[in-house]
Amino acid sequence: MKAKVGAWETRIFLNGDEIRAESLCNIGKGSDTCIWLVVSGDGFECTCLHKSPYLVKRFEAGETTAKKDGCEFVANLRVQELGEGEHTLNPLEDKSLES
């Protein structure tokens, strides 16, 4: 996972293992898939920190297949502590995500 922290926005990009991880995006698992996982021009991206109003509206209306509302890793990410720039994160090695 890479976090690109800017002055106004943080973008999070994920690799194949991360998008399939049950503790993260859980892609391809219907309602258990995270609603905030999208494909951008830069690859798979987590939009949990900058939610699209259009996607929020569809999610709240129950119009999406994906129903998982984010993950603990991103929810607990302290962007301010990272500082501006590009950061490599290892959510699959984070023991706090284990059940």
Q: What is the pLDDT of residues 57-81, one digit of tens each?
A: 999 999 999 999 999 999 999 988 9
Q: What is the mean pLDDT of residues 85-94?
A: 90
Q: Which helix (H) or strand (E) holds 16?
A: helix 16-20
For the sheet with 43-46, list strands across it. 37-40, 43-46, 10-13, 2-5, 85-88
98 lies in some domain: no
56 lies in some domain: yes
Residue 55 pLDDT exceeds 50: yes
| Structural domain count of the chain | 1
For residue 97, the model assigns a pLDDT of: 46
SS3 content of the chain, % helix, strand, coil (to 5): 30, 20, 45
31 lies in some domain: yes
Residue 96 pLDDT exceeds 70: no
For residue 56, the model assigns a pLDDT of: 96
36 lies in some domain: yes
**Neighbouring residues of 58: CB distance < 8 A, sequence distance ≥ 6:** 64
94 lies in some domain: no
Domain range enclosing 59: 2-87
Q: What is the mean pLDDT of residues 35-54?
A: 94
Q: Please report which confidence band the pLDDT of residue 99 belongs to, taking 50, 70 and 90 as the band edges.
A: very low
Q: Please report which confidence band the pLDDT of residue 11 belongs to, taking 50, 70 and 90 as the band edges.
A: very high
